[in-house]
Amino acid sequence: MEKEEKKIVNEGEEDEMEIYGYNLCRWKLVLVAIGVLCTGGFLLLLLYWMPEWRVKATCKRTTLKDCEVVLLRTTDEFRIWFCAKIRIMPSLGASSLQNPQSIADIVSNGHRGHVCENLAEGNKNDPNKHSPIRYFTHHSVKYFWKDALQSFDFLGGLDESTSCSSIHNEHSTGLTKRMQDYRKLFYGVNEIAVKVPSIFKLLIKEVLNPFYIFQLFSVILWVTDEYYYYALAIVIMSVISIVSSLYTIRKQYIMLHDMVAAHSIVRVSVSRANQEIEEILSTDLVPGDIMVIPSNGTIMPCDAVLVSGTCIVNESMLTGESVPVTKTNLPNPAEDPKAMGDEIYSPEVHKRHTLFCGTNVIQTRFYTGELVKAIVVRTGFSTSKGQLVRSILYPKPTDFKLYRDAYMFLLFLVVVAGVGFLYTVVNSILNEVPAHIIIIESLDIITITVPPALPAAMTAGIVYAQRRLKKIGIFCISPQRINICGQLNLVCFDKTGTLTEDGLDLWGIQRVENAHFLLPEERACSESLVKSQFVACMATCHSLTKIEGVLSGDPLDLKMFEAIGWILEEATEEETALHNRIMPTVVRPSKQLLPESKPATNQEMELFELSASYEIGIVRQFPFSSALQRMCVIARVLGEKRMDAFMKGAPEVIASLCKQETVPVDFETVLEDYTKQGFRVIALAHRKLESKLTWHKVQNINRDAIESNMDFMGLIIMQNKLKQETPAVLEDLHKANIRTVMITGDNMLTAISVARDCGMILPQDKVIIAEALPPKDGQVARINWHYADTRTKCTNSSPAINSQDIPIKLVHESLEDLQLTKYHFAMNGKSFAVILEHFQDFVPKLVLHGTVFARMAPDQKTQLVEALQNVDYYVGMCGDGANDCGALKKAHGGISLSELEASVASPFTSRTPSISCVPNLIREGRAALITSFCVFKFMALYSIIQYFSVTLLYSILSNLGDFQFLFIDLAIILVVVFTMSLNPAWKELVAQRPPSGLISGQLLCSVLSQIITCLGFQTIGFIWVKQQPWYEPWTTHSDACNLSTVTNTNSSQHENETLHDEHNIKNYENTTVFFISCFQYLIVAIVFSKGKPFRQPCYKNVLFVISVIVLYIFTFFIMMYPVESIDRCLELVCVPYQWRITILVIVIINAIVSILVENFLLDMILWKVVFSRDKHGEYRLAMPQPPQEASDRWRGCFFSSLFGCRKKIPKAKYMHLAQELLVDPEWPPKPRTTTEAKAPTQENGFILFRVQTHPWK
């Protein structure tokens, strides 16, 4: 069949995949069936594990248009394969499809109100023409065939290619019942269904894991070899492991199901095309339905865009912030001539008008006779909540070098096992061993080399770390991430609520009169200011609302409103119903604030009139937009004809929208002074509106028409205090050589000030602000570089914090003095976006040195985390959950300080909202990582030692006895493995980091040196015992302990050959090798159980110490003082006392050599000289050194060249880049220079951006 070119689905998205079409092939199916029978079902298992092989083995390639099965492969670094079956949607009566592609487009874009009727007409003309629709489902999303694309595509709702004008004009009439039913065929039930799998289904899936299949194979083999006890032990362990795994998985499914199922099915009112209101179940909603939002609120069952009315919504489920958000109706471009009619609706861009699934609508505000309506744009798993649930149900695999190396090492063990297998087969055939014994013994060597208990042993350290984290209030939903946290070398912090206190305090106000700043005032609630426009702006320009009588909203708005002491009153439903328009929210000063009235005849009445005489009604609200960095309201003072517009927001933005003659000349200087001191500054502006603007006109006016030609009124100065623990935690991270980065939505200068205050930027460090400007008026994009003024000048004294971040550069401040100065880049979200688009080659350099990223949008936080990961940083992210979800999910270790539902997106959640959890998490991660290395090294040594013991004994056609295996495997290995993992984390963070993978010089040298040591001493014992004068091939009457009976034994040897044990277990070589190997397991356990600097010393691990001592004493006792019953059980033979002393000497020398090699040769010499790793665990950068240090370095180079490890190039991209930048004369950019991007040119298929730097003119 003709093969078509590769197709892509979800192109450009995070879940982009390649797609291939296949049809079932009968002759291939027959061959596979024969193969399954011949392999005893193993081929079926193999095809179950490998979807790609399964499809290719049973199907033949065809075009996507005609295929029955699709094969999907992700385009990311994991390249994971999936397969899905094509399903057919039947054509039903009048609703059957004349052209599937065109109908799919009609339905997906919703450009028709009455598709069913049109279809019916088409079918009357050609009643026999019915084309079924083909689709498949992958990860809870349906993909339909589209002829135009000649591929399958995700079926979008009204969120794709629908203009704002068409939402109002074409979709605001509602759907007929027939059209709704028709669309439901495509979109399915509006439900985020998290099915909890049955225990049986989960059990089958768990049991078919390759690890458990290998265990089953091992158990069957051991039972065949009559090795019942260890087989039973492994079965018990496996059952416990499977049960605990099933319990955990099912518990997580139930938790997720309960979280999603809560309020997922509700009764909703929809407006039909004939304007009738019909009550239906939320599961029947489809894109295009008009949902009527009840006045008492509801939980949103879908994503919908507001077309009339206003809603107050709690979005904590999505953002983690429980602050009520005001949602307004989507502006209708037809009613506003200045608006862009062709603007495409997007839930992200128009989120202030979109009600998201799972969020709680608390209240609605509406016109009389005009209900609060929202058009459904997305349903089911396509909604924002659905996408969040999908990311939890189908997470990306964890990419960590440790796990990749673990598989490589297991592959190496399989190769070693293969060599042993061949050796056993050849040796047994040469010695004419029976066939069934050859099969059992050769397969047994595989189970010895690849220990079935390895995964359980590896998991133990993570489980213990998870328990310790839980004790200190850190909860983990992704245990595998704990190990990765041990590698974190950069942590990003949100500012507000994370580094600083959540609340803001009003420090003061600074008003402007006649374009001049007045002196700062501490209080805004004085009698003289009560009727000023400045206080009126503070009273009205906010998104506060009363919920059950309590004022709630944004903390900043709350503080501002509380500072003036005014009262807010909202209209009740009854009051609204009496009038033909929305009753405004009214604010008024309290009686105490109004000036005292003159005495009058009826004082009480006059006071009442005075208090009632000054009220302001909020007529229209344009909510705060993070993209616009401002909010605006239209208000009217009671009794006045003209309305007022009040605006507040970022000072730079507000000043740009004001008349320049009203902005003070020293505006920038004053603002800079405040922001440098770490204050959060908000600017206010006001404008009297034209008298022709009526109430109804105001309701439909575009905000751009209002937010211009304003009068600048002054500044509100808010104080955001650092949390008490912040400086100490950041100092600990700096000492541990962990970079810290601030990502905030706040002003850049404020962020730089906070960064200096908390120690993220040291006093003597320079801050370079990168201000990037997009292309405009024919000019190319450019970056202006300027240095922020430091608050304290550089001194020669060493910094208080021993900061060893990568950004280090020699700055030639004068010819006489070379000052070693660190520099940091700071930029805002707009600059970051321009740099990402036009200066891609600058991104690695800037993130290498970037410390402050201000005014960052939520998606930009995620992009920054990704950019840091692209230069090989292991990135941690710590946020309070508000707008940090994407970055928390993207980071290697995301820790949320919020316990709200949004924390379900973060691998870790801290019960205490303090960044002190970050060093704790890294310490536990490092401890768990080192524990994993220790356990892996120990299990590898256990495998190799036992493998070599068995191989030596196979050479004389002997083996270890069943109880010998049992003693080693159960009493020694399992006890040691599960107790050596109990070492708690070291009490403080240290500068060096543990290795990230098993295949590293340090770990490989450690393992290989111990393998050589152990094998050497085993071989010595095995050969030396044969050289002893009393040695002879052992028989049942041999008694080396009593040499006088040797002659009698020899004379009767041939008579008693029949009494020899069947497997030739009892002999002097077996006993010698058994004792030496038993001690070797314990020696290796102690050698590998390292404590400092990542874990507590092993002597503090009481259970481990007791276990090892008991095992040492027991093994020593049965070797030096044989007990007949124990010897009989373990199938040991009696050897002369002198030989027992010799074995003891061999063991003691072995222990000394192992400890010296590991702790002295490797730790003290090799790593400090050969690999040139400094105390920070990173490759050293070229820096000027004192003569003594230079001398030491020279000696190091000599040893390095001796070992052939000269000039080691760092593997991490950021370190390699740092070394390059150290010798780059053009970096960092000089102050007051500009870097311009040249027009992109294409060479060899790559787009190149040329840059040019020149000084400012």
Residues designated catalytic: 494
Q: What is the dihedral of CA 13, 864, 925, 210, to 10 degrees?
A: 20
Taking the CA of residue 269 as centre, how many other CA atoms within 13 Å lie in the half-sphere pointing to its CB? 13
- The letter for the amino acid at 854 is A
What is the 8-class DSSP label of residue 1121?
S
For residue 614, give the nearest of 641, 633, 586, 642 by alpha carbon: 586
What is the 8-class DSSP label of residue 998?
S
Spell 854-893 as b/e; 16+ CB within 10 A means b: bbbbbebbbbbbebbbebbbbbbbbbbbbbbbbbbbbbbb
Structure tokens at 825: 């880049």
Spell 1104-1122 as b/e; 16+ CB within 10 A means b: beebbeebeeebbebbeeb
- The letter for the amino acid at 958 is S
Question: Alpha helices, DSSP H only, in 59-189?
Answer: 100-109, 115-125, 164-169, 177-187
CA distance 899 to 34: 55
Find the helix or strand (DSSP H, E) in which 260 lies: helix 228-261
Contacts for 13 with CB less than 8 Å, ≥ 6 apart: none
Residue 471, exposed/middle/buried by CB under 10 A (0-12, 13-18, 19+)? Answer: exposed
Question: Alpha helices, DSSP H only, in 773-883?
Answer: 829-838, 843-849, 858-870
SS3 letters across 472-484: CCEEECCCHHHHH
Structure tokens at 673: 């002074």
CA distance 940 to 1021: 22
Sort strands 739-743 and 850-854 into parallel, antiparallel or unpaired: parallel
Residue 687, exposed/middle/buried by CB under 10 A (0-12, 13-18, 19+)? Answer: buried
- The letter for the amino acid at 8 is I
Find the helix or strand (DSSP H, E) in which 1008 lies: helix 1001-1026
Structure tokens at 84: 């899905």
Which residue is it, tokens 């003594």? 1188
Give the three-class secondary structure for 1027: coil
Whether the CB-CB separation of 1127 and 1134 falls below 8 Å is answered with yes
Contacts for 190 with CB less than 8 Å, ≥ 6 apart: 282, 283, 284, 285, 286, 301, 302, 379, 380
Our CA angle for 730, 731, 737, nearest 5°, is 90
Sort strands 1233-1237 and 1251-1255 into parallel, antiparallel or unpaired: antiparallel
Q: Extract long-range pairs of 553-558: CB within 8 Å, 24+ residues apart.
A: 553/323, 553/324, 554/323, 554/624, 555/323, 555/502, 555/503, 555/504, 556/504, 556/680, 556/682, 556/718
Give the three-class secondary structure for 966: helix
Which residue is it, tokens 């009559």? 226
Residue 120 φ/ψ region, left for φ over 0, alpha for ψ in the -120 to 50 degree band, beta for the rest = alpha
Cα distances (angstroms) measured from residue 1245 to each of 130, 615, 1240, 1242, 1248:
45, 67, 12, 6, 10
Whether the CB-CB separation of 109 and 146 falls below 8 Å is answered with no
CA distance 155 to 146: 10
